[in-house]
A and B are shown apart, each in its own frame.
Chain A
Amino acid sequence: MFDRDTGGARIELRALTKHYPGQPAPAVDHVDLDIPAGELVVFVGPSGCGKTTTMKMINRLVEPTSGEIRIGGEDVLSLHPDELRRHIGYAIQQVGLFPHQTIGQNIGLVPKLLGWSAARTAERVEELLTLVNLEPSAFHDRYPSQLSGGQQQRVGVARALAADPPVMLMDEPFGATDPITREHLQNEFVKLQKQLRKTIIFVTHDFEEAIKLGDRIAVLRERSHIAQYDTPANILAHPADDYVAGFIGQDATLKRLALLRVGDVECTQQRGSADMPQITSDASLREALDVMLAHGTDRCGSPSGVLTYGALCEAVGTEPASASEPTPASAARKEPVGAGPATALKEAVRR
C-alpha cells in the first residue's frame, strides 16, 4: 500500500462528488484538490459546508458518488475500505477512546489490527506516549475516564499516529477543549508536525486555528466548493473574494502580524536604549505591536536590534505614512476612507 514511505504521501482529489439519495443538491460537488506530501492542509468553512464529508471520503467512511481519490498515486477506491483505513490516521473531536480499554490498548489498537508483534506494539505505544508528552509509566495502564479532556485529546492524536501512517485525517481534534488547553495542544501539535511531516487534512471552522496550524488553507463554501486554496499569509494578504474576506474577519492585518516572528524582520542595527521595551526574537510581530501600544512608543528593543513601527508596516506591505491610500487588505475590510494603518491597527486592537 501507499505507506511504504511514512513521511507523507501526496493526496489528489479529482471531481470528487457525494450526492446523498433523496437530496436535491450534492453535499460535495466536483472537488479538485492537490495536497502535497508532508503538508498540513486545513479545510475551513461554515458548518454544513461539506468539509467533513469531503474528508471522510478520503478514508471512505463516506463512499463517494463519483470522482477519484489518489494517495501516493494509488487509487483509493480500488482498495478494501477496512484495510485502507488501517493505513490512514484518524482523529475526531469526540476523541472516541474506548472506555473499556486502557490507554495502552487504545493506542495499540491499529498496530494490533495490522498484526504487529506484541513487543513491537508495546515499544511503539511507549514511544507515542512520550511523543505526546504523557509519561508512559503513569498513563499506560489508566482508563480514559481517569484522564482530563486535554490528555484524552493527546491520546487520540497518539492513537491516530500509532501505525505511523503517511496520511492523517483530523476532524476538529481540539474542538472540545477549553481555550487554554486548546492553545497548548495546538502549539504542541505544530511542533510535532514539524518533526513528523505527515500529510494531514485538518478540518475546523475556526479560522484562527487554520492560520496557526496550516501550511495551506482551503476555504470552502457550501457544497465544498473551494473559495480559495493558498498559504495562510497569501489568503490574509489577498483574499480571493468577499466570502473569504468575510471568513477572515476584520483584523486580517493583525492576523498576518501574528504569523511573522520578530526574528524574520530587518531591525535597525543600533543598540536600543535601556528604557525601551524589550521583546524576544521568537515573539510574533503582533506581540511586538502590543508592546508598542502598551508603552505608547513606536519602537521596541529586540536581541537583533531595534524594531520600529515602520518595520512592522513594511512586513505586512503597507506604508507607515500613507494616510489616504488604502491597501488591498484594508479595502477588503471596508474601512472608513482616510484612516491610516496606524489608526486601523490601534482600532483593531481595541476591538
Chain B
Amino acid sequence: MTTATLRAGRTRPFGRVSGLRHVITPVILCGVLFALYAWISAQNLDSIESRSLTREFLLAKAVEHVQLTFLATALVVVVAIPLGVVASRARNRLIAPVILTVANLGQAIPCIGLLVLCTFLLGVGFQTALVGLVAYAVLPVLRNTMVGVQQVDPALIEAARGMGMTRGQVLRRVELKLAVPAILAGLRTALVLTVGVATLGAFVAAGGFGELIINGLKLNRMPVTIVGAVLTACIAFFIDWLSGLAEDLLKPRGI
C-alpha cells in the first residue's frame, strides 16, 4: 500500500466516473459466464464431463469455495489487525520484526507445502485448508494495518494527546479510523489471494473449484478444467469488485 494509492483513494470523486467503474466489472463477468455457458452447451460432453458439470455440483463447489474464502479472511481479520497494531507501536519495536518474519514465512512457504504439512497435524478436510489459507493471507492485512497506523500524522496524535485523549482513545478514534483505507486495501488483496489459493484446498479434500480443475487434469477432460478455472477467476473478480464497493462505502468521510 503506497501513499500514492492512498491519495488516489482520497481524491476519487463520487459520481459518474466511479459509477461507470462500478458497473464495468459485473457486466464483463456476466459476459464471460454467458460465453462459458454457450461454449459448454455446444460441446458434446461424455459421461464423466456431464456428471461434473451439473448445476447442483457446480453450485455445491461454489458454496464450498466462497465459504472457505470468507471464513479464512474472517480469521485473518481477527489475527492480523491486532497483530498489525501491536507491531506498529513504537515500544514494541523489538517484537515487530518477529511478527513480520512469521507473517512473511506464511507467504514465503509454498502454500501447497504448507497444506501438506498441516495434513500431518490436522488430517485432511476443511479446517486444514483453512489453516493454510489463513497463514497465507495474514501478511497483506498485517502489513497494511501497520503502515496505515504508522502513516498517521504525528501532529494529529500530539493534538489528540494534548487534548486529554487516553492512548486507547487515540488508537480507536484517530489512528485506526485513519488507517481504515489502508486496512481495507489489505483485506481486498487478501480476499483475492485467498480465492485463488483456495483451489489448492482440493488437495486436502476441502472441496471448492479446485476439485474441478484437478479432476479435469487427472482425467484429461479439458472442459471440466476450464470451467473450474474460469469460475474461480470470476469469483475472484466479483469479490474484488465487492471489496471496491466496500472501500468506497466504509472509508471515513473527509479523507
Q: Which residues of A contact B (CB under 8 A)?
A: 59, 61, 82-87, 90, 92, 94-102, 109-110, 113, 143-145, 159, 169
Contact A85 B159 (CB under 8 A): no
Contact A90 B254 (CB under 8 A): no
Q: A96-B153, A100-B178 are in contact. Are A110 and B163 (CB under 8 A)?
A: yes
Bound complex: CA A95 to CA B155 (Å): 8
Interface residue B252 (Cβ < 8 Å from any Cβ of A): yes
Contact A113 B165 (CB under 8 A): yes
Interface residue B174 (Cβ < 8 Å from any Cβ of A): yes
A290 to chain B, nearest CB (A): 39
Contact B164 A92 (CB under 8 A): no
Contact A143 B253 (CB under 8 A): yes
Contact B177 A61 (CB under 8 A): no
- Contact residues of B between 156 and 200, Cβ < 8 Å to A: 156, 158-166, 169, 173-174, 177-178
Contact A82 B156 (CB under 8 A): no
Contact B155 A82 (CB under 8 A): no
Cβ contact of B158, chosen from A96, A98, A113, cutoff 8 A: A96
Contact A82 B165 (CB under 8 A): yes
Cβ contact of B161, chosen from A85, A87, A102, A169, cutoff 8 A: A85
Contact B156 A98 (CB under 8 A): yes
Residues of A within 8 A of B153 (CB): 94, 96
Residues of B within 8 A of A98 (CB): 156, 159-160, 173-174
Cβ contact of B254, chosen from A82, A99, A109, A113, cutoff 8 A: A99
Q: A61-B158, A92-B159 are in contact. Are A145 and B164 (CB under 8 A)?
A: no
Contact B158 A102 (CB under 8 A): no
Interface residue B255 (Cβ < 8 Å from any Cβ of A): yes
Residues of A within 8 A of B253 (CB): 100, 143
A198 to chain B, nearest CB (A): 16
A89 to chain B, nearest CB (A): 9
Contact B156 A96 (CB under 8 A): yes
Bound complex: CA A255 to CA B54 (Å): 91
Residues of A within 8 A of B160 (CB): 96, 98
Bound complex: CA A189 to CA B9 (Å): 37
Bound complex: CA A83 to CA B160 (Å): 13
Residues of A within 8 A of B169 (CB): 113
Contact A99 B158 (CB under 8 A): no
Closest residue of chain B to A59 (Cβ to Cβ) is B162
Q: A94-B153, A94-B155 are in contact. Are A100 and B163 (CB under 8 A)?
A: no
Contact B254 A144 (CB under 8 A): yes
Contact A159 B252 (CB under 8 A): no
Contact B177 A113 (CB under 8 A): no
Interface centre among A61, A90, A92, A98, by most chain B C-beta atoms within 10 angstroms, is A98
Residues of B within 8 A of A83 (CB): 164
Bound complex: CA A99 to CA B252 (Å): 9
B169 to chain A, nearest CB (A): 8
Contact A96 B155 (CB under 8 A): yes
Residues of A within 8 A of B162 (CB): 59, 61, 85, 90, 92, 169
Closest residue of chain B to A102 (Cβ to Cβ) is B254
Closest residue of chain B to A83 (Cβ to Cβ) is B164
Residues of B within 8 A of A159 (CB): 163
Bound complex: CA A83 to CA B178 (Å): 25
Closest residue of chain B to A109 (Cβ to Cβ) is B163
Identify 26 residue pairs between A and B in the complex whose beta-carbon atoms are under 8 Å apart, listed by A's number. Answer: A61-B161, A82-B164, A82-B166, A84-B164, A85-B164, A86-B164, A87-B164, A90-B162, A92-B158, A92-B159, A94-B155, A96-B153, A96-B155, A96-B158, A96-B159, A97-B159, A98-B160, A98-B174, A100-B178, A101-B254, A113-B164, A143-B255, A144-B254, A145-B254, A145-B255, A159-B163
Bound complex: CA A83 to CA B165 (Å): 9
A51 to chain B, nearest CB (A): 16
Q: Which 8 A-B pairs have the closest CB atoms?
A: A96-B159, A143-B254, A86-B164, A94-B155, A90-B162, A85-B164, A100-B252, A96-B155
